[in-house]
A and B are shown apart, each in its own frame.
Chain A
Amino acid sequence: MNFSDIFKETYISLAANKVRSGLTVLGIVIGIGSVIAMISIGEGAKTQIQTSIEDLGSNLLTIFPGVVQPGRGIVSSGRGSAQTLKNEDIETITEIEGVAAIAPEISRRFQITAATGNNTNTTVTGVETNYLFVRNLKLADGFFITDSAARGLGREAVLGSTVAKDLFGENDPIGQSIRINRVNFKVTGLLAAKGGFGFSGPDDMVLVPLSTMQKILAGADYLSTISVSVADKDRMNEVRDNINYELAKKHRVDEPDFSIISQEDILGTLSQVINTFTIFLASIAGISLLVGGIGIMNMMLTTVTERTREIGLRKAIGATKSDINRQFLAEAVALTFVGGFLGVAMGWVIAFTVTSLEIIQTSVSLYSVFLAFGVSAAIGIIFGYYPARRAASLNPIEALRYE
């Protein structure tokens, strides 16, 4: 029996019972479809987080006060909890070789009111001129906080796009004045929208001069973060070690009372979390695939019993064991293959829907499609094997006598 004949027989028998074949295929469609969708959502989330972290700035090292322990977040270092970074540290770090630029900052949440009467509660960050470059941000309009303003208690503010919309709607915010914690500021610049879900949220932020923030708004002389841009990507570790050493020496402590985190650290941790999550989702989807496979086996076993007389007849007119075996195996594989094909389509549609609803930018990778086809063919063979063998080993006389 050649391939096209097997194909024809398979088609005839599956078409003879369309509803049942369809329902069985549905099990595989749902299984494969959800595996593809889950993997694509996971992959999408990973890519998205990757880009948003890379967007934070190139070759970025971030220094936090306090000690960060892996898996435990920021842990305060005993005395003077997390206020260990001071303005004097700026100079120390600037002098370290390989540091291209440095952006110290301090943030707090404040209530902000516009002359229009609109108000919002958001993070206000005191920064210096370098902030824009180090954090890889762009101005949409106006100009950024100048050196003199940063040092000389200037009352200028740069708005993130979300804040600008909250306060001024569609109107141009440049030149308008706002009140932060009852202090008047003049809006001089507007940040370009970054979109996405970057966790530092540059869209929902107001930037003011560092000195103004420390002395007038917060009344504190410490820094909440120092961002360091390293000149050469290959020297990240070296620069990091130097900062660690110099800063600890300056603070006169044996163990650093601050933490340095690189993009890679964040990326690594987050990727790991997302991988775990993807595997978790995919295995739940995998279970439904398994159930689909059992559905195939169930249907094939029913079919073999129902078609006992047909099998007897086929054997009487010369079908060998392997002819029968191949025919039933082909039916199972055809079911899973159709299921696999539709499943990939369904996964694609789900992924596309998730993307177009702007939940997560998904990406259906070629490998997951191949995987799905491989898995569905394998399921057909595995779950079709036993029913096919049972059909093939039927004794033709008993099969013919079967009522």
Chain B
Amino acid sequence: MIECQNITKTYKTGEVEFNALEGVSFKIERGEFVAIMGPSGSGKSTLMHILGALDTPTTGQYFLDGQNISLLSDDELAEIRKNKIGFVFQAFNLLARTSVLRNTVLPLVYAGINKNERALRAEIALKAAGLDEVHFNHLSNQLSGGQIQRVAIARALVNNPSLILADEPTGNLDSKTGEIVLKTFEKLNREEGRTIILITHEHDVARHTRRIIHIKDGKIEDDSNNQ
């Protein structure tokens, strides 16, 4: 479902060029639960931005569901993100002072789905992400860190994406809450067959996945199944 062929990403800061990714190739099939691991600055977020159609590679090809993403314009990328990708970030996932339901529904708003269907799908997604119904009408700043991440996961689910990308989703949580959030991902993968890519630099987090891709200095160091 995902195929990366020799992807590089070069950042230019003035005269200085920096290769954040240097020839990355791998495949991920539908229904996989993969962790991308590596030390800070190794290019994990850069790779995730490309996988999530937020950015395009400098050279190389990236196919998502057979479609070559590397050549698309800004608006076409937005279209891909809207229909095929769900993001969970480490921090600042929700709009401030906006209700849980409104936050969850936002991808559907941009997708032009009608109101009734939106509300229905948001509730299903929130339940799937394990958020208690009492919080549905709370504002984003009335939630705990763990609850925020659940809402973020619900929002990532709500448009039925082919791929869910999570960049250090437990980075801001204590280990117990982080564990609960990771269990949620595991469950979504196991029971609903969602394809999930989880970015982390913690082994404890990667342990929950079934495959780990190690990257270092912009290159894949190791790609192995987990146990």
Contact = CB atoms under 8 A, between A and B. Distances in A.
B170 to A, nearest CB: 18
A2 B112 contact: yes
A86 interface: no
Contacts of B207: none
Nearest to B115: A4
Nearest to A319: B110
A310 interface: yes
B78 A309 contact: no
B4 to A, nearest CB: 18
Nearest to A316: B87
Given A1-B109, A12-B97, A316 B55 contact: no
Interface string A191-221: 0000000000000000000000000000000
A16 B55 CA distance: 31
Nearest to B74: A321
A313 B75 contact: no
Interface string A40-54: 000000000000000
Contacts of B54: 315-316, 396-397, 400
B94 to A, nearest CB: 8
Interface in A367-402: 396-397, 400
Interface string B43-80: 00000010010110000000000000000001100110
Interface in A269-320: 309-310, 313-320
Contact of A320 (B75, B93, B109): B75
A397 B82 CA distance: 16
A9 to B, nearest CB: 8
Given A396-B54, A397-B49, A397-B54, A317 B95 contact: no
Contacts of A396: 54
Given A5-B109, A16-B96, A317 B155 contact: yes
A246 interface: no
Nearest to B96: A16
Interface string B74-115: 110011011100110100110111100010001101111000
Contacts of B83: 318
A1 B55 contact: no
A323 interface: yes
Nearest to A400: B89
Given A313-B92, A316-B52, A321 B78 contact: yes
Interface residues of B, number: 29
Contacts of A2: 112
A320 B97 CA distance: 23
Contacts of B74: 320-321
B111 A321 contact: no
Query: A interface, by DSSP: helix, strand, loop or mixed?
Result: helix
A377 to B, nearest CB: 25
Given A316-B87, A321-B75, A1 B110 contact: yes
Given A1-B109, A12-B98, A396-B54, A320 B78 contact: yes
Contacts of B55: 397
Nearest to B114: A2
A345 to B, nearest CB: 29
Nearest to B158: A317
B82 to A, nearest CB: 3
Nearest to B80: A318
A381 to B, nearest CB: 22
Nearest to A318: B82
Interface in B97-154: 97-98, 102, 106-107, 109-112
A323 to B, nearest CB: 6
Nearest to A6: B109
A319 B78 contact: yes
A309 B92 contact: yes
Contacts of B109: 1, 5
A396 B52 CA distance: 11
A1 B109 CA distance: 6
B95 A310 contact: yes
Nearest to B98: A12
A317 B75 contact: no
Nearest to A9: B109
B110 A318 contact: yes
Contacts of A400: 54, 89
Contacts of B106: 314, 317
A323 B102 CA distance: 17
A317 B81 contact: yes
Contacts of A322: 75
Contacts of B95: 12, 310, 313
Contacts of B96: 16, 310
Nearest to A320: B78
A320 B53 CA distance: 13
B112 A1 contact: yes
A354 B131 CA distance: 60
Interface string A1-32: 11001000000100010000000000000000
A400 B49 CA distance: 10
A317 B102 contact: no
Chain B CB within 10 Å, residue with most, of A12, A16, A317? A317
10 contacts: A1-B112, A12-B95, A313-B93, A315-B81, A317-B106, A318-B78, A318-B79, A318-B111, A397-B55, A400-B89
Interface of A: 1-2, 5, 12, 16, 309-310, 313-323, 396-397, 400
Given A12-B98, A313-B93, A316-B52, 14 more contacts: A1-B109, A1-B112, A16-B96, A316-B54, A316-B81, A317-B82, A317-B87, A317-B106, A317-B107, A319-B110, A321-B75, A321-B78, A397-B49, A400-B54
